[in-house]
Amino acid sequence: MFTTFIVQPIFNLLALIYALLPGHNFGLAIIIFTVVVRIAIYPLLRKQLHQAKLMRQMQPAIKEIKKKAAGDRQKESMLLMELYKERGINPIGSIGVLIPQMFIFIGLYLGLRKVVDNPQAMIDFTYPALQQLPWLKELAANIHKFDNTLFGLIDLTRVASSAKGTYWPAMLLVLGSAVAQFYQSRQLVPKNTRGLREILKATANGEEVDAAERSASTMKSTSYLLPIMIFIFTIGMPAALSLYWLTGALVAIWQQGHLLKQDELEMEAIADKRDVSKIPEAEIVSSPKPKRSAKPASKKAKRRKKK
């Protein structure tokens, strides 16, 4: 079922791009495929960043809930769930971005593994409708025309490190994907965030550390750990996967930068304009008009009264 519903559709999308692409370069097809995937999950990424921003804004309310619960975990959980529901927040919303990416990565790996083991899979594993495309027909007649490189420079079926030695073009892709992943992770870490060791030391000394700061500190530590894991994970895999990861990280850096900048501009616009239509009703307080002080009576008016 995983092959039928995950691996084969992903592989066929890549095969379609490859067959329609002028020049039919497999490396360029992977790059275009990655950009298409990142565009497809853009709404999920936007929702994830929006939820993260709301979680940071909610920290004062969460502190109040913890004080109110006074150590009662059940009461605290219930109040937190009510708060999340009120603000429209899903605490595990980030999984909505991670799961599709993992499925795509695993599906692409299994599909590429078939091509690495036998280039004929480029024909046999595609849907019958795609097999009727002119280039795939030509490829079926002569499978040696299959170009498995990135512009003829990098053999995407080879691994960066093996018993045969180091294949440096693939190693550059592996290093590039690890570095790009580091910048992608650090982009979401707030500035001036203390390290996890400093947070633990402060907690041990009795200092009350904000939950948002703890979360940011964890993200900061993860930004170092994740690139190392990706380097270890991809160094023994076909270079095509490193190319996919590198391209995906670069596109994600641009997407996250755009969304974060958009949030900043929205906040600045609200701060500058303070449009009444955008201010919550609780903030709109109509000030009463000042009463006019009675003018002193003129001399003529006083004479008339005497008369």
The predicted pLDDT at position 22 comes to: 92
Quick check: is 23 in a domain? yes
pLDDT computed for residue 15 by the predictor: 93
DSSP, residue by residue, the chain: -HIIIIIHHHHHHHHHHHHHSTT--HHHHHHHHHHHHHHHTHHHHHHHHHHHHHHHHTHHHHHHHHHHHTT-HHHHHHHHHHHHHHHT--TTTTHHHHHHHHHHHHHHHHHHHHHHH-TTHHHHTS-HHHHTSHHHHHHHH-GGG---EETTTEETTSBSEETTEE-HHHHHHHHHHHHHHHHHHHTTSPTTPPPHHHHHHHHHTTPPPPHHHHHHHHHHHHHHHHHHHHHHHHTTSBHHHHHHHHHHHHHHHHHHHHHHHHHHHHHHHHHHH--GGGS-GGG--PPPPPPPPPPPPPHHHHHHHH-
| 285 within some domain | no
Tell me, yes or no, whether 104 lies in a domain.
yes
pLDDT means per 10 residues in the chain (307 residues)? 90 94 93 92 80 70 76 78 76 67 86 86 92 94 91 92 91 94 81 64 63 62 83 91 92 87 61 46 42 49 51
Residue 106: inside a domain: yes
Confidence at residue 46, expressed as pLDDT on a 0 to 100 scale? 82
What confidence score (pLDDT) does residue 200 get? 67
| pLDDT value for 184 | 87
Question: In which domain, by residue range, is 186 found?
Answer: 2-269
Q: Would residue 287 count as lying in a domain?
A: no
**Total count of domains within the chain:** 1
Residue 30 lies in a domain: yes
- What is the reported pLDDT for 263? 64
In a domain, 280, yes or no: no
Do the domain assignments include residue 297?
no
